[in-house]
Structures are given as structure tokens and as C-alpha cells.
Amino acid sequence: MEGISEEAAELAGHLKLKKLIVFWDNNNITIDGTVKDASSTDERKRFEAMGWNTIGIDGHDVKAIEQAIVAAQKSDKPTLIACSTTIGFGAPNKAGTSKVHGSPLGEEETSLMRQNLNWPYAPFEVPEDVLALWREAGARHQKTYEAWLSNVSKEFEDYISDVLPLGWNNGLESLKQKAIDEAFNIASRKSSQLCLEEIVKGVPQIIGGSADLAASNLTLTGASKTITAADYAGNNIKYGIREHAMGAVMNGLSLHGGVIPFGGTFFVFSDYMRPSIRLAALMGLRVIYVLTHDSIGVGEDGPTHQPIEHLASYRAMPNILVFRPCDTVETAEAYETAVMSSTMPSMLVLSRQNLPVLRKSAKENLTSKGAYVISAAEGKRDVTLIATGSEVMLAVKAQEALKQQGIHAAVVSMPCQELFDKQDKAYQKEVLGDAPKIAIEAASTFGWHKYADDVIGIDSFGASGKADAVYTFFGITVDEILKRVAKLVK
């Protein structure tokens, strides 16, 4: 019944994934009662309408199961095998009821079930005749496996294990230096596309895609080739308007090995795939989310499309890196870190509006440290301005204005709180300093007080209007920074 089944099944049918065989345990039972209490859909017809082959069988008939598998393997479509079953089969008093769904049978019912099924074996005891069949099958195929193994190349082993090629990030290094030399002033979503151009060329395991927003997310590159039902030899998936399926498919690709997936959508639409993102974090998968239109800077689309609480909510999620880069250099460093983070997913939260390059050097990946001083105070530090993304340039402008007032401010860019929290205390103190601290981010203030004495942010929903006007309306401005500094610094 869940929406993910519709999204995933549609995509599988569209791509004619004929190797996919799904067994549906059709027992008509849910936790609350029976399926017919909540649904009257003909599931086989639904799947057939989505381009699937369907087969109906008695799920307790071993021969019927075997025949269904053989038929499914011959199909040119994915196959749903609808197995009509009785939940708790063999339990004399509870079979076919919701009582079996979420609760143990109990000793008495289990004993009666054993008698009904003529199963005299102890718990976890595998009958000798069954065990002998498994061992025979293993021995029968051992030589075939050894022959296959002898032909596996080191290149294939590295590929399927997601080992990155030597020099895979050379293009990113060149891009960072070029951005500094030419003083790029582009949206971080455009910086992301420039990074992906280099990554797709340098990392053969990369497979990208977007939930029908490639033109806005800028996830297509010159080396992108879209996967179709007629040709699977591509590196880009058109997921359609199916964010949840996109997140789930990327998890599957990562679990398989030999694939490092990335997928794009608007940041606010990440809500649609949050369950898949959480599972990626829980399973420790290398999945990369390209999430553009990161703030109230979205502008006229208004509050429905303006993320507010999203950064705070993902930062609260364990085992995921949340990057909000301030320029092209940080974007490239974030990608470099994300691609190398093999035990956790990463999200790059990217702007629609242009951002100037603020970094003066790209010799060290400072984003990998989570935070660093991007513009030092000229004298003894009077105040520290901490910011992310598009607000870092506001902090730098405020720093210059404060200088005219004789106030020495240091600007700290904090593109990734998770990585900064992993640094040792000495580094954290060196970056944050002892002076009063103000954090600036065009999003919820939740979570920032552990770094700052005061926070400039937004704790309401956004508003429709041009980006500059909306920033002014919510007080995400240089003037507001100066006012807050005046209250903190004597």
C-alpha cells in the first residue's frame, strides 16, 4: 500500500527490469485486521498496468513456486508472483488472523503447530536430509565458482569494491584553482555541475540522476548518458517525479557495489525521500544527494519551496554529512570529501543565487575539517562571525564594515557541522576563538547555540518575493549583523 511501492514499481516497469522477481505474500492480513478493511485494489492489475508480468500461485505449493520462478525468468518484464498464503500456516487457533502478525505464537500454540506440520525438530535444528541437499549443491558448484574466481581481474575487484581510481580528483583540484584565479561568481548549484563534470569523467562507478529536475539541479554533464529500457549501458537515471524511489534505488545501487550514486532534487523536496535518506545513514552507505534551492533565496516560489527546518533536521540525523558550501572551492572540497566517505551518505545543499569565490587558497581541503577561519581578524579578535553557504559573503561584508568601526571580526565558514564536531578540542577552540560569537544562516536557528552566543536566522516559514527582498524582510543582512555585534561587543 505504501507510496514507495508505486514509485519503484512504475520505474521498474518502465525500464523493463526483467531480472527483477518480486514475491508478494498475499495473506490478506495487516496489524489492524484484514487488507480488505483498508484496500480494495486489484494488485495484479495494478502491476500489469505498470508494465509487469504477474503470476498467481498457491504460496504453500513448492512445485508451483518453482514453476513460477522458471516462467518469470523467461519474461521480458519484471514479474510479480502473487503468493496466496495463510499467515501462521499450521497454527490451529491463530492461523489466518492478525494475532500472528505482530505477536509470538506462545508455547502452547507453537507446540500444536509442530504437531499439525509433523515437525519434530528442535528450534534451530536443520534436518539432516535438508542439510545434505544444501551441502551437495555447494560442492556441485564449487569448481564452477573457483573457475570463475580465477578469471576475476584486479580491475574488476577494485571496481565492484568501489575503489577510486588513482588521480580521480585531479579535475577537482584544477577547478578549485581556476575558480580562485578567475574569481568565479556563480550559484553553488552551478559550481556543483562543474564538479560533477570532473567527477563523472574521473570515477567510472558514478551513476547520477534527478527527480525530474535535472535542468534546475544541474546534474547532467557532458559525459552523462541516460539509461533506458533499450540500453542499460549508461550513467544517468531519469527517475521522474519519484523522489522516494530515487532515494531507495540509490541505496540499492550502493549496497550492490560497483556504483557510487548521486541524485538531485530541490532541498525542500528531500522530505519525500527522507525515509530512504535515513536508511542510507543507518546502513552506512556512500550515497550523495544534490539538493539545490537551499533557502529563502529561492525567491518567488514562496514558502512551500523555501527550506527552513531542513538543515537542522538533517544535522540531527546520525551518520550523515550535511554540506552547505559558500563558493566553488568549498563545493569542490565537499564533493571530494563526499566521494571518499565510504561509510556514510552526504548531502550538498546548494544555492540558486550567485556566490563569489571567497577562498584565497585551495592547497588544503578545509571543508573536510567542517569549519575554518575564512577571513581572519586584522587585530585581536573582538567578535567571531560564523556562517554557511550564501551567508558567508554577508559575514565578510559585515567584517569590512566593522573594521571601519574599529571592531576586529574573524569570519568562520562552517560548511559541515558534523565534520567540525569530529575535530579535536584544540582545533575547535583555535577556529571559534574566545571572543563573542554570532552565527548567521538563512534557516532555523535550532542547533546553532552550541557554537554561538547569538544567532541570526529564521524561525518561521518563508515568504514569496525576490531573493534580496526576502532576505531583507527576515533580517538576514549586513545591517542586522552590525546591530547584533553592537549588543555583544562593548
**What are the residue numbers of the active site?**
243
| Residue 427: exposure state from Cβ atoms within 10 A (0-12, 13-18, ≥19) | middle
Neighbours of 180 (CB within 10 A): 18
Is the Cα torsion angle 206, 210, 214, 217 positive or negative in sign? negative
| Helix, strand, coil share (%) of the chain residues, nearest 5 | 45, 15, 40
The total number of residues shown for the chain amounts to 490
Give Cβ neighbours of residue 304 (< 8 Å, ≥ 6 apart).
268
Element (H, E) at 383: strand 383-387
Amino acid at the residue 30: T
Place of cell 558567508: 392
Judge contact between 417 and 315, C-beta under 8 A. Answer: yes
Q: Which of 175, 179, 193, 28 is nearest to 100 (CA)?
A: 28
Q: Name the grid cell of 168.
A: 580521480
d(CA 185, CA 294): 17
Judge contact between 128 and 99, C-beta under 8 A. Answer: no
Amino acid at the residue 66: E
Amino acid at the residue 129: D
Judge contact between 293 and 305, C-beta under 8 A. Answer: yes
| Residue 263: exposure state from Cβ atoms within 10 A (0-12, 13-18, ≥19) | buried
d(CA 116, CA 93): 11
Please report how many Cα atoms fall inside a 13 Å half-sphere around the Cα of residue 321, on the Cβ side.
33
Judge contact between 480 and 401, C-beta under 8 A. Answer: no
